[in-house]
Amino acid sequence: MTKNTSTRIESVLIETRVFAPDATASAGARIASMAAYDALCKEAADDFDGFWARQAKANVTWTKPFTRTLDESNAPFYKWFDDGELNASANCLDKHIGTPVENKTAIIFEADDGAVTKVTYKELLARVSQFANALKAEGIRKGDRVIIYMPMTIEGVIAMQACARIGATHSVVFGGFSAKALQERIIDAGAVAVITANYQLRGGKELPLKAIVDDGIALGGCESIKSVLVYQRTATACAMVAGRDKTFAEVLQGQPSECPPVPVGAEHPLFILYTSGSTGKPKGVQHATGGYLLWAKLTMDWTFDVRPEDVFWCTADIGWITGHTYVAYGPLAAGATQVVFEGIPTFPHAGRFWQMIEKHKVTIFYTAPTAIRSLIKAADSDEKVHPKNWNLSTLRILGAVGEPINPEAWMWYHRNIGAEKCPIVDTFWQTETGGHVITPLPGATPLVPGSCTLPLPGIMAAIVDETGKDIPNGAGGMLVIKRPWPSMIRTIWNDPERFKKSYFPEEMGGTIYLAGDGAVRSADRGYFRITGRIDDVLNVSGHRLGTMEIESALVAKTDLVAEAAVVGRPDDVTGEAVCAFVVLKRGRPASDEEARKIATELRNWVAKEIGPIAKPKDIRFGENLPKTRSGKIMRRLLRSLAKGEAITQDTSTLENPAILEQLGRAH
């Protein structure tokens, strides 16, 4: 499980700056003071079930009310509100009909080329319903799994909502994943259909999606797929397989724009989202409908304190959990107006985000530290893309997600984007948690740069040692959540044993959720600071990558690679970078030029096997890897080598010390 805890937890960072929310942030906020926050925490501690039952009644529209709040009889397979029924899409769309929200803009879509399209809630409901009817006409039913491999578009959100409307379980695959990654997910999920687009537009480039679906299916084992539905994003034609493939225009033809939402049990799987773990095979994180939806809505209210006049913008792709909870579900459940952006932050210039904030009068902006760091770099080197060139005065709350935000980047965000007035909510959470779990509240929490501060009410987060014993403030340990919460992962699709083993260690009693991150609480305030993963998962640009997944991809290049080990190293912009140590079958490259050529070949190979995000930044070649006499790879040494650190660790158990020198060199 967590053998390398002690080596991965950094020493306690001393950050003394504190930024208390000013009166404008607190005024009218749902949780407007620490006293109000404490009162909610106390309510949850004193009457756990009652607290959650009240929240679920107040925030979710149930077609059949639940009578049971939490069922722990088969822990850690917890069930929430399980005799209740609801529909997630009805909770995002239908519930606004007949209210002032119905004619409000639901989505402001800005395309890669800057073109803007808007849809109201009423229009979105009609389009989701029509597409849901098209899915039904394809024979897709409640409980079927549907893969969505779509660009960031209104149609992507519609595809997800339409699945939810008919009770089909969606599994969105990020558009940057490869044909092989797609095939593995299709097979594991046993999907009956793929919803995709002919191409996606990113940074002025037209990139194929449908062709990758075809390649994925052609890899074999995807017989469960009966239809492939293709959104024509661009005018360019793509190959279509007769009988299996249809365009959106074809399937929507003649479909009515009303479709009754199918009520499902609260525990019905709303979606499966694959994410990296410590083994080679991605985990299908399964989320339930009721608890997930409750938390998507409630965290919009608590963390973002979203108000009717807000324009919310979460820059995450729908292929990631952030795009699920804070694009496809949360903002709609909260009746907010949101921006959906197809493109990338650096096209046509690195001021695009700031320009869009001005253009759409964005009030709440939520992005990843990596994006902030890369835009800092861009602004430093080119005045023209500095945020000062745009009017950002509409902003009132900023957010960060996906990786630790370093205090320098926090301060830049605070000064240059937030004009020193906007609270920054540094939200800690995971694919598995469904929504925020540790985060500041904009109207209440005094902020400390680099700290995600305190758990939300009802989230019993703690820091413990290997046996589950609490660790005092000021010392590092493992982040856990001691009680279940409604939006937690329910199981790993097809692999309940792996679910138990990965998240509920026996040594801690088998019912406590282990997040997989190291953390430390500050001695003075008890604030949490995440120190990074304690397993073999890397976080590159806020994207989760398994080291074993990349190793498996490298050794699958059987003509070249004999052995490979992958570790992370710190990177100024991407947080962590992938560093691969490779033993070639033919021995070490004879020249730098040959090393570069092979490294390029291996990078392209990894992009093909997993996706471009997994490409190693550094590749080093050696005759062997550092191993103990029993043959175990000494990863801690590789981590030091990757960082360019002098080796101070004990190398006495090392079988072959000479190769450290080889692997320490760039090539």
As annotated, the binding site includes: 202-205, 322, 402-404, 426-431, 517, 533, 541, 544, 555, 561
When binding is defined by CB under 6 A, the residue of 110, 342, 517, 618 that contacts ligand PRX is: 517
Q: Is residue 430 near ligand PRX by the rule CB under 6 A? A: yes
CA distance 554 to 577: 16
Residue 310 sits at the vertex; the CA angle it makes with 308 and 314, to the nearest 5 degrees, is 125
Cβ closest to ligand PRX, residue 89 vs residue 322: 322
Q: Is residue 530 near ligand PRX by the rule CB under 6 A? A: yes
Binding site listing for CoA: 202-205, 322, 541
- DSSP-derived letter for residue 426 is E
Q: Is residue 429 near ligand PRX by the rule CB under 6 A? A: yes
- Min CB(530)–ligand PRX separation in Å: 4
- Min CB(3)–ligand PRX separation in Å: 18
Our measurement of the distance from residue 473's CA atom to the centroid of its chain's CA atoms, rounded to an integer in Å, reads 28
Binding site listing for ATP: 402-404, 426-431, 517, 533, 544
Neighbour tally for 58: CB within 10 Å: 10
- Min CB(653)–ligand PRX separation in Å: 30
- Min CB(403)–ligand PRX separation in Å: 5
CA distance 326 to 50: 26
When binding is defined by CB under 6 A, the residue of 352, 533, 627, 639 that contacts ligand PRX is: 533
CA dihedral for 276, 277, 281, 282, sign (positive or negative): negative
- Min CB(353)–ligand PRX separation in Å: 18
Our measurement of the distance from residue 108's CA atom to the centroid of its chain's CA atoms, rounded to an integer in Å, reads 22
Q: Is residue 516 near ligand PRX by the rule CB under 6 A? A: yes
Q: Is the peptide bond before 208 cis (omega within 30 degrees of 0)?
A: no
Provide the H-helix boundaries in 267-403.
Answer: 289-302, 321-323, 330-333, 352-360, 369-381
Q: Is residue 549 near ligand PRX by the rule CB under 6 A? A: no
Q: Residue 99 corresponds to which tokens in the numbers above?
A: 């209210």
CA distance 204 to 422: 32
Cβ closest to ligand PRX, residue 91 vs residue 275: 275
- Point out which span in 21-29, 76-84, 376-384, 421-429 binds ligand PRX (CB under 6 A): 421-429
- Give the x/- contact pattern for ligand PRX in 388-407, rule: CB under 6 A: -------------xxxx---
Cβ closest to ligand PRX, residue 515 vs residue 619: 515
Our measurement of the distance from residue 126's CA atom to the centroid of its chain's CA atoms, rounded to an integer in Å, reads 28
- Min CB(169)–ligand PRX separation in Å: 19
Q: Residue 324 corresponds to which tokens in the numbers above?
A: 């699920």
Q: Name the residue among 171, 141, 102, 508 with its Cα closest to residue 335.
A: 102
Residue 45 sits at the vertex; the CA angle it makes with 41 and 48, to the nearest 5 degrees, is 110
- Min CB(103)–ligand PRX separation in Å: 32
When binding is defined by CB under 6 A, the residue of 303, 363, 367, 431 that contacts ligand PRX is: 431
In this chain, which residue has its C-beta nearest to ligand PRX?
A: 431
Neighbour tally for 28: CB within 10 Å: 10
Cβ closest to ligand PRX, residue 136 vs residue 533: 533
- Min CB(527)–ligand PRX separation in Å: 12
Cβ closest to ligand PRX, residue 155 vs residue 426: 426
- Min CB(509)–ligand PRX separation in Å: 21
- Give the x/- contact pattern for ligand PRX in 302-321, rule: CB under 6 A: -------------------x
**Helix, strand, or coil (residue 553):** helix
Q: Are the beta carbons of 320 and 89 closer than 8 angstroms?
A: no
CA distance 279 to 545: 10
The H-or-E segment that residue 576 falls in is strand 575-584
Q: Is residue 634 near ligand PRX by the rule CB under 6 A? A: no
Beta strand pairing call for 205-208 and 245-247: unpaired
Q: Is residue 539 near ligand PRX by the rule CB under 6 A? A: yes
Neighbour tally for 644: CB within 10 Å: 10
- Min CB(75)–ligand PRX separation in Å: 22
CA distance 136 to 139: 5
Q: Are the beta carbons of 626 and 637 closer than 8 angstroms?
A: yes
In which residue are the tokens 């919310």 written? 312
CA distance 152 to 203: 13
- Point out which span in 88-96, 150-158, 299-307, 428-436 binds ligand PRX (CB under 6 A): 428-436
When binding is defined by CB under 6 A, the residue of 91, 322, 337, 502 that contacts ligand PRX is: 322
Q: Is residue 427 near ligand PRX by the rule CB under 6 A? A: yes
- Give the x/- contact pattern for ligand PRX in 153-172, rule: CB under 6 A: --------------------
- Give the x/- contact pattern for ligand PRX in 452-471, rule: CB under 6 A: x-------------------
Q: Is residue 85 near ligand PRX by the rule CB under 6 A? A: no
* Count, residues near ligand PRX per rule CB under 6 A: 21
Binding site listing for Mg(2+): 555, 561
Q: Is residue 576 near ligand PRX by the rule CB under 6 A? A: no
Q: Residue 3 corresponds to which tokens in the numbers above?
A: 């053998």
- Give the x/- contact pattern for ligand PRX in 223-262, rule: CB under 6 A: ----------------------------------------
Long-range CB contacts for residues 471-475, cutoff 8 Å, separation at least 24? 473/521, 473/522, 473/523, 473/526, 474/12, 474/520, 474/521, 474/522, 474/523, 475/12, 475/520
- Point out which span in 144-152, 212-220, 407-415, 420-428 binds ligand PRX (CB under 6 A): 420-428
CA distance 655 to 561: 21
Cβ closest to ligand PRX, residue 185 vs residue 533: 533
CA neighbours closer than 13 Å in the CB half-sphere of residue 566 = 29
- Point out which span in 150-158, 330-338, 424-432, 601-609 binds ligand PRX (CB under 6 A): 424-432
Cβ closest to ligand PRX, residue 95 vs residue 529: 529
- Min CB(349)–ligand PRX separation in Å: 27
Q: Name the residue among 368, 527, 530 with its Cα closest to residue 448.
A: 527
- Min CB(618)–ligand PRX separation in Å: 21
Q: Residue 300 corresponds to which tokens in the numbers above?
A: 């919009």
Cβ closest to ligand PRX, residue 450 vs residue 622: 450
CA dihedral for 152, 156, 161, 164, sign (positive or negative): negative
Neighbour tally for 254: CB within 10 Å: 9
CA distances 294 to 427, 434, 467, Å, are 18, 10, 32
- Point out which span in 71-79, 425-433, 485-493, 614-622 binds ligand PRX (CB under 6 A): 425-433
- Point out which span in 186-194, 289-297, 462-470, 515-523 binds ligand PRX (CB under 6 A): 515-523
- Min CB(637)–ligand PRX separation in Å: 23
When binding is defined by CB under 6 A, the residue of 91, 200, 275, 355 that contacts ligand PRX is: 275
Q: Name the residue among 387, 401, 393 with its Cα closest to residue 422.
A: 393
Residues that bind ligand PRX (CB under 6 A): 275, 321-322, 401-404, 426-431, 452, 515-517, 530, 533, 539, 544
